[in-house]
Amino acid sequence: MQLDVRKIIEIPGASLSFECEVSEERLDFPSVNRYRKLPYAHGRVFNEAGILRMTGEIEAEMECICDRCGTVFDRSKTTNVDVVLAEEESEENPEVFALKGDAVDLDEVLASCFIMDMDMKVLCSEECKGLCPVCGKNLNLGPCGCRKQPDPRFAVLEQLLDK
């Protein structure tokens, strides 16, 4: 979706609001099974002394898969948006996005902000214990019956204890 900023580009102090759904095609993550509700964004574009700044939020309801234990769980995510819009993109600053003429591509800006804010690992909880490396049991449901494997470097010492 293109947002025409022509009305505020020459008027310092002017602003323009926006509301839209963010296309999930750009938001493909291996840990996200599906979006329960399409990510929804709302905010404003301000002309601050000739500099266009976009602020707002992206809200998403997702069904995720835990990267540690494989459990499917629901997650809500809110991403704050605070970027500068300029005539050219800045390679040094990822928070500067290019205008296309007198418009900004909201899908591109909002998807980029959401992607940059996404966690590297999606976990069902901070205390997730993961899976047993031997039997594969989910350790969040309780301990497994596997005996801890001894470190092979200490095998000689274990033989001494057996005598």
Do 78 and 152 share a domain, yes or no?
A: no
Q: Supply 47's token pair.
A: 């002309």
pLDDT-derived band at 72, boundaries 50, 70, 90: very high
Tally Cβ neighbours within 10 Å of residue 6: 10
pLDDT at 91: 64
DSSP 63: E
Do 36 and 99 share a domain, yes or no?
A: yes
* 125 pLDDT above the threshold of 90: yes
Do 148 and 120 share a domain, yes or no?
A: no
Do 121 and 135 share a domain, yes or no?
A: no
The range of the structural domain enclosing residue 9 comes to 2-128
Distance CA(94)–CA(59), nearest Å, equals 21
Do 79 and 150 share a domain, yes or no?
A: no
Q: What is the mean pLDDT of residues 65-70?
A: 94
Do 115 and 136 share a domain, yes or no?
A: no
* pTM > 0.75: yes or no: yes
Query: Of 56, 73, 47, which is closest to residue 125 (Cα–Cα)?
Result: 73
Number of independent structural domains in the chain: 2
Do 19 and 79 share a domain, yes or no?
A: yes
* 53 pLDDT above the threshold of 70: yes
pLDDT-derived band at 26, boundaries 50, 70, 90: confident
Do 110 and 143 share a domain, yes or no?
A: no
Do 136 and 123 share a domain, yes or no?
A: no
In DSSP terms, which residues pair with 74 in a beta bridge? 63
Mean model confidence pLDDT for the chain: 86
pLDDT-derived band at 92, boundaries 50, 70, 90: low
In DSSP terms, which residues pair with 106 in a beta bridge? none
Do 93 and 160 share a domain, yes or no?
A: no
Do 12 and 53 share a domain, yes or no?
A: yes
The β-bridge relationship of strands 96-98 and 72-86 is parallel
